[in-house]
Amino acid sequence: MTEAGTVDGASGRGWAGYAPLDATAGQQLGAAWRDIVEGLRCWRSWTYLALETIKNQYRRTVLGPWWLTIQTAFYVVGLAIIFGNILNTDLKAFLPYVAVGFIGFNLLSGLSRAASTTFVGASDRMRSTRQPLSSYVLRDAAIEFILFGHNMLIYLIFLVTGLVPVHLKILVAIPVIALIGVNGFFSGLWLGPTVARFRDVGPLVLSVLQVLVFFTPIFYRLSNLGAGRRRDLLDWNPFTYMLGAFRNPLVGAPLRLTDYLGVAVVTLINVALGLFVFSRTRSRLPYWVA
């Protein structure tokens, strides 16, 4: 016999079922956890759908998603010239710094944006097909990573042309990118339901992301800034640590321990918050986006 309020999923493929609204926190967490496991298990499905979505976004263009690479290239070269001049630094060293910083920031802000819109954007699909709810988050995060992959071509050019030194340290960036992915996924699990329930949060996230462009060291170095209260704002910005941890190994800069500690703390908070909010809201979510 099933418990009150459950939708029995034994027969459905890859379906965790819903915990009843009056279930204990443990039961809710169990259902949420099964949803996440099912979501990860159907990786073929959401990676395919992510690729299709990008393909369709650019369907009527010749260059497709490579437009994004070109956009990024134009943007960073422009930025490097102007800011290199203002800060009076050598363009050759500054260009990779700005470019990798911008690409990293694009990934971070893109994942945050995707996290906030993920369930509201999936409402059409949620009303017509039954998929693990986590798979919507995974698809949207995968889209951001595919775009990131296109942008990283610029970094590859830096490596080939010798603008950045080839060094073993570069490998440090790989686990950092993976952790950024973990953060993107779990932030979708708490930000997605929050935005579905409180629609003001969506525009709020966009506003914050817009300001974060300035409070994240993308086109300046932390050393360019003096100490003081305004500098503290950067220390409270999680993107500061994630970007530092990602960029420094890639451009051959010295690694800062604080960056990696910061990433660890942010990851723990995101995972905890994601599991808490997702398990508490999962059985209500279909009603909020209906």
Positions touching other proteins (CB under 8 A) are 2-9, 11-15, 17-18, 20-21, 42, 44-45, 48-49, 52-53, 55-57, 59, 124-131, 197-201, 283, 286-288, 290
Nearer to other proteins, 251 or 285 (CB): 285
User: Max alpha carbon distance in the chain (Å)?
Assistant: 73
Distance CA 3, CA 20 (A): 8
9 CB contacts (<8 Å, ≥6 apart)?
A: 15, 16, 17
Nearer to other proteins, 57 or 210 (CB): 57
* Smallest gap from residue 95 Cβ to other proteins (A): 36
Nearer to other proteins, 3 or 232 (CB): 3
* Smallest gap from residue 9 Cβ to other proteins (A): 7
118 CB contacts (<8 Å, ≥6 apart)?
A: 136, 137, 140, 188, 191, 192
Question: What tokens were used for 1?
Answer: 């016999």
* Smallest gap from residue 27 Cβ to other proteins (A): 13
Residue whose entry in the numeric block shows the structure tokens 């995968």: 142
* Smallest gap from residue 254 Cβ to other proteins (A): 42
Q: Which amino acid is at 144?
A: E
* Smallest gap from residue 284 Cβ to other proteins (A): 8
Give per-residue burial for 226-243: e unless 16+ CB within 10 Å, then b. Answer: eeeeeeeebeebbbbbbb
Nearer to other proteins, 59 or 229 (CB): 59
Nearer to other proteins, 197 or 256 (CB): 197
